Structure 1
Amino acid sequence: MIKKIIVSFGLLFSAASLAQEGTASPYSYYGIGDVRFKGTAENRAMGGIGILNDSIHVNLQNPAAYSALKLTTLSVGATHSMTSLKTSEAKGDASRTTLDYFALAFPAGKLGVGFGLMPYSSVGYTVNSPSTSPTTPNRYYTGEGGLNKVFLGAGYQITSKFSLGIDANYNFGNVETKGLRAYPDVYLGTRELNTSDFSGFNVNLGLIFNTKIGKKQEFLASATYTPESNLKSQNTRKIATFLGNEIIDVEVDIPVDDTEIKMPSKFAFGAGFGEKSKWFVGGEVTMQETSGFGNRYNDITNVTYEDATRYSIGGYYIPNYRSFTSYFKRITYRAGLKYENTGLVVGGTAIKDYGVTMGLGLPVGNAFSSINLGFEYGRRGTTFDGLIKENYTNVFLSLSLSDKWFVKRKYE
């Protein structure tokens, strides 16, 4: 059974890894693209809260949670996104399938260690603005690429109530954007091709406090802090004239400065309570100083940034995880809500994001492994001031395999 599941997921992720345009949003043109959610499917289904320190599930949002692991855990996830884009004059649809993360974590006494790979941000859009008269050009814009991160983290249980953790991340990637302009009655058009190669390091610090508040209930508090860091961007720009299907006539390299993008600091605090392996409810607030954020190129003038804030609430419920008679009683039911001021301000209008999430944790094989299925429906942006409103539906899936590794055999 487990082998078949692994093969199926392997085929899924092979397909997903070939199409790492993780967004269809025109807003991904700005900055380093559309910043992706950096947690597991389990957390995402609960509104994105990263509070829980679980003994059999990886928490990629707070490295202090590694210390709670009792089993070695392999976790992989992917998402299929369907987006409806609408302006005051037109609308369109797009879909993407992407790999979300690959992570492996294992316990070593009071220490837990984890490492893996995940997308950090994505650029992926196509915008077509046809001419309305002989004096206005046809415009066509595309963008693709994104930023990835490799991470190595560790968490240590200082006392029975406190755990500390740290993640070290190397961020890297490439973004290419292209713009075409052609007047209806003009023989040649112009093409602008921009590329940016990114690289940089940052760290993420975490703290978790856990205490009993009754015979069965417990209280959890979580905090993470990501200090400000810099991301180097090596930029190039080429201007060309083209004929027909982008047959290049003349291409000229235009000097542009390499830039150093400030990666803003981020602080998140959350708290919740519940009964372990039964139910939990909590909330989290994330604040990011994106007001000092920059774009890949210094000549983008229609966008500014303000500090970003995200609010998330969510939780889970398991009827009876020890039930031998009912499979449905062992399923984990998850749900949550989120609201985010993204910090992006286009043409003087702040871009905001609202969403509702839900999911199921389906036990497979032994009692510690699961398939996690989740759904997210949300809205971002607006049709006012000539902007774009996005209604999106995300279906996400993960496999969490937990077992004892590195155990010396008594008998050969």
Structure 2
Amino acid sequence: MRSVSTTLIRLSLSFLVTGFTLLNANAQENSPFTRYGLGDFYNGSNAITRALGGLGAAYSDGTNNNVGQAINFMNPATYSNFFMVSYDLGLTFDTRNLRSENPAGKFRSNYFYPSYVGVGLPINRVKGIGMAFGIRPLSRISYSIVSRERVAGDSLATIYEGSGGLNQAYVGIGKKWKNLSIGFNTGMNFGRREIGTKKIFINDSTFFFQSNSSTLTSFSGMFFNPGFQYEFSVGKKVNEQTKTTSNYLIRIGGSATLSQSLSASQDQKRETYTESQAGDITIDTISIKNGIKGNIQMPSTYAAGITLHKTASNNRGTFEMWSVGAEYTATQWNKYRFYNQADQLVNSWQLKIGAQLCPDPLTGRSYWSNVNYRIGAFIGKDYVDPDGNGLKHVGFSVGAGLPIKKWNNYDRQFTVLNTALQFGKRGSGVNNITESYVQFTLGISLTDVWFQKRRYD
């Protein structure tokens, strides 16, 4: 009979390969903000923390029956809470509206992309050791902008295009000692940045070939992301009539992604070309330079948060009743360098708040009373600064954790669908270009006793 470990490894690898294929699907996005740095950085948290306004440093699931077990890769200390194997997949649908004041204009884009795919598993439940591994996109570059002008009596169209982004393959481990948990993620950040500028003269009497200047940069490098959480009780109450114990706890947490240097290789091409039905045809190559070595300096990110939550215990188990929390994150983008060149980036920060409520998980009588309802909000400063006025970034979110199948029996079934609906805006009245967006994320946490040794065949 096939061993449990072999079956688990094959299932996990198959899950990650499927996720990697999805991550490489093209998203139909077109945003000028992705021109800067390594593109538009995604909200890198799972569906639960997205619904909580982005809380991740001091949030942890997997400790109580009714929450389930998603993978909080924002703080690897939470891996110590894994009690069963969990397969976690996030999918996001995003719609964005760009508004320009001068020249006046509007642009809308809709696109779909996988947010994350990962596997979490306990290594030693008694000693509180768990691990997780997976892959997720960190940023995306996707823009195509046309500028028109008159030069020496002729019309000139300039097309600015960009594609690519940054991805992450990670593996992490967490360990718990009584109230303290620590952990770390490490792995590889990798991606590409392909940008090009095409110039097209439009003239009725004279024909001009078009020009194309393109640069393709591939990069990769190791990263390190440590984290910790510490939890302590601030009060207990026992209801003798219902035989229920209520416990009020405070959890503090912090995490950091240390600065890193990505090794890069760049190919440059300068040419004239003409268009045909078969595609662009090169007329004359002016310059080709391949394999230009360099580095990309990525900045450090720090996060710290606090959560107050209530648990209740009876003969059915321990349940999360409610939680409220706050978190502050900051990234030192002034230290970003691309081949020793700075970009129009500034240090960013966010202040986040969130709350979660489960109405009545103790009795297990009603499905909707076992659902976890979530709400959150954030305010901050974006890292992109295209016009020198800074981009204010605000948003709020709602969501729910929907238990699947045996929602009234937590002996071995913890599969949950986590949803998050986010509304946000980048920019304000001082900016020429502003962006508003709506994101819907569906997180699927497939957690169960996948392998159970039978007593009888």
Q: 2:74 aligns with which of 61, 72, 87?
A: 61
**Residues 86 and 383 in structure 1, CA contact (< 8 A), matched pair in contact too:** no
Once the two structures are superposed, what CA deviation does each residue of 1:237-269 show, in whole Å capped at 9, x if it has no partner?
211212245333223334484331111112110
Unaligned 5+ runs, structure 1: 1-8
Letter of the structure 2 residue corresponding to residue 53 of structure 1: S
Letter of the structure 2 residue corresponding to residue 271 of structure 1: I
**Residues 78 and 100 in structure 1, CA contact (< 8 A), matched pair in contact too:** yes
CA–CA distance in 2 between the matches of 1:268 and 1:287? Answer: 7
Q: 1:352 aligns with which of 392, 417, 421?
A: 392
CA–CA distance in 2 between the matches of 1:296 and 1:351? Answer: 25
Q: 1:223 aligns with which of 240, 247, 254?
A: 254
**Residues 21 and 123 in structure 1, CA contact (< 8 A), matched pair in contact too:** no
Shift of 1:203: 0.6
Decide which moves more: 376-385 or 183-192.
376-385
Letter of the structure 2 residue corresponding to residue 139 of structure 1: T
Q: 2:424 aligns with which of 378, 386, 390?
A: 378
Residue in 2 that maps onto 1:260: 295
Shift of 1:232: 1.5
1:24 paired with 2:22, answer no
Decide which moves more: 390-399 or 129-138.
129-138
**Which protein shows a greater Rg?**
2
Decide which moves more: 337-346 or 18-27.
18-27
Q: 1:94 aligns with which of 101, 109, 112?
A: 109
Please, what is the CA RMSD of the aligned residues? 2.4
| 1:3-402 matched pairs, under 5 angstroms | 16-17=22-23, 19-21=25-27, 23-50=29-56, 51-55=58-62, 56-88=69-101, 89-107=104-122, 108-109=124-125, 110-131=128-149, 134-135=153-154, 137-158=156-177, 160-185=178-203, 187-215=208-236, 216-244=247-275, 246-255=280-289, 257-276=292-311, 277-295=320-338, 298=341, 303-367=343-407, 368-382=414-428, 384=430, 387-402=432-447
CA–CA distance in 2 between the matches of 1:297 and 1:237? Answer: 17
Letter of the structure 1 residue corresponding to residue 441 of structure 2: F
Decide which moves more: 375-384 or 110-119.
375-384
Alpha-carbon distance change, 296 to 32 in structure 1, aligned in 2, over 3 angstroms: farther
**Residues 426 and 435 in structure 2, CA contact (< 8 A), matched pair in contact too:** yes
Give SS of 1:398's match. strand
Alpha-carbon distance change, 383 to 16 in structure 1, aligned in 2, over 3 angstroms: farther
Give SS of 1:343's match. coil
Letter of the structure 1 residue corresponding to residue 382 of structure 2: T
Give SS of 1:213's match. strand
Once the two structures are superposed, what CA deviation does each residue of 1:61-82 show, in whole Å capped at 9, x if it has no partner?
0000011122221110011111
Shift of 1:86: 1.4
**Count of aligned pairs:** 398
CA–CA distance in 1 between the matches of 2:20 and 2:220? Answer: 25
Q: TM-score, normalised by structure 1?
A: 0.89
CA–CA distance in 1 between the matches of 2:161 and 2:83? Answer: 46
Shift of 1:383: 6.9
Give SS of 1:344's match. coil
CA–CA distance in 2 between the matches of 1:31 and 1:138? Answer: 25
**Residues 170 and 200 in structure 1, CA contact (< 8 A), matched pair in contact too:** yes
Letter of the structure 1 residue corresponding to residue 229 of structure 2: I
**Residues 20 and 99 in structure 1, CA contact (< 8 A), matched pair in contact too:** no
Identical counterparts, % of pairs: 26
CA–CA distance in 2 between the matches of 1:20 and 1:40? Answer: 21
CA–CA distance in 1 between the matches of 2:261 and 2:452? Answer: 42
**Residues 382 and 426 in structure 2, CA contact (< 8 A), matched pair in contact too:** no
Letter of the structure 1 residue corresponding to residue 235 of structure 2: G
Shift of 1:379: 0.9
Once the two structures are superposed, what CA deviation does each residue of 1:276-302 show, in whole Å capped at 9, x if it has no partner?
31111101101211111023684xx7x
Once the two structures are superposed, what CA deviation does each residue of 1:73-114 show, in whole Å capped at 9, x if it has no partner?
111001111111111121111111101111111112210110
Alpha-carbon distance change, 247 to 79 in structure 1, aligned in 2, over 3 angstroms: same
CA–CA distance in 2 between the matches of 1:354 and 1:24? Answer: 21
Q: Which runs of 4+ in 1 moved over 6 A?
A: 12-15
Letter of the structure 2 residue corresponding to residue 46 of structure 1: L
Decide which moves more: 199-208 or 248-257.
248-257
Decide which moves more: 284-293 or 23-32.
23-32
Alpha-carbon distance change, 396 to 101 in structure 1, aligned in 2, over 3 angstroms: same
CA–CA distance in 2 between the matches of 1:142 and 1:329? Answer: 50
CA–CA distance in 2 between the matches of 1:22 and 1:208? Answer: 38
**Residues 101 and 119 in structure 1, CA contact (< 8 A), matched pair in contact too:** yes
Unaligned 5+ runs, structure 2: 1-14, 63-68, 237-246, 312-319, 408-413
